[in-house]
Amino acid sequence: MSSDWPLWEVFVRSKGGLAHRHVGSVHAPDKELALRHARDTYTRRLEGVSLWVVKSDEIVASDPDEAGPMFEPAEDKIYRHPTFYDIPDVVKHI
């Protein structure tokens, strides 16, 4: 039965957490039940205060075979890290 149902990715924001974090997936026939299944599967031990579910095939993912052109060009660009600047003492928060 559940194999007939689409897969949904589940994201939970924990109490005090700033962002939703991916925790796993559930099968469900539609979005309302996906949310209920996510609640019953992933927040049974007070893990969260907010839930997102996203249909898995709605997620656009990068192709692992394309990882070279996608990510390697960033490897030798250390000047993109903001560590080369002196911060004036008067600046308290940055």
Q: What is the 3-state secondary structure (H, E, C) of 1-30?
A: CHHHCCEEEEEEECCCCCCCEEEEEEECCC
Answer yes or no whether residue 28 interacts with another protein by CB under 8 A.
yes
Q: CB 28 → another protein: shortest distance, Å?
A: 7
Token pair in block for residue 51: 């839930």
For residues 41 and 70, which CB has a smaller minimum distance to another protein in the complex? 41
Contacting range for another protein; rule: CB under 8 A; set: 27-35, 58-66, 68-76, 83-91: 27-35
Q: Write phi, then psi, for 47 (nearest 5 degrees).
A: -75, -20
Which residues of the shown chain bind another protein in the complex (CB under 8 A)?
A: 1-2, 5, 26-30, 32-33, 36-37, 40-41, 44
